[in-house]
Amino acid sequence: MISDKMLKMLNDQINAELFSSYLYLSMAAYFESENWNGMAKWMKEQSSEEYEHAMKFYHYINEVEGRVELEAIEKPKFGWNSPLEAFEEAHKHELYITDRINKLVALAIQENDYATNLFLNWFVNEQVEEVATVSQIVHKFKLIGDNKTSLYLLDRELGMRASK
């Protein structure tokens, strides 16, 4: 049986993951409006992954016989000044999510909640991967600058992201 405090934090994380999904979908829509179809594809995949993350928390809460409680999802930002700005925000957002996951782990350890700690391990690894991936993309955008041909090629590369 998990504590009420743990349950509340897990439910809050469902909301944070759904917001991530919403934020990345908003970024995808921005890219579509600017005809960066590869970047849009990448962000739509990312948005789907975030929904899956939310569902992992949803299933775990049910498994431990907690009650899933959904809250309103905040409106995400509507537009960005450049693809670089959007990906920089995605990077910042992933660092924020990592911090949230770390806080969840800290509570699980504090409460000797071994099952929740084990469940969260997957997210600890996932966050390392996600932060690194977005960081590499930001780095590429910075290298490219305003070079249109390179931006076109990067858009194509991002559009090759496979669906899970």
Residue 107, SS3?
helix
Backbone φ and ψ of 141, nearest 5°: -60, -40
Q: How many CA atoms lie within 13 A of 2 on its CB side?
A: 27
Nearer to ligand FEO, 23 or 108 (CB): 23
CB of 47 to ligand FEO, least distance (A): 10
CB of 130 to ligand FEO, least distance (A): 5
Cβ-closest position to ligand FEO: 53
Chain residues that interact with ligand FEO, rule: CB under 6 A: 17, 20, 50, 53, 94, 97, 130
CB of 20 to ligand FEO, least distance (A): 5
Number of neighbours of residue 136 by Cβ within 10 angstroms: 10
CA 159 centroid distance within chain = 18
Nearer to ligand FEO, 36 or 47 (CB): 47
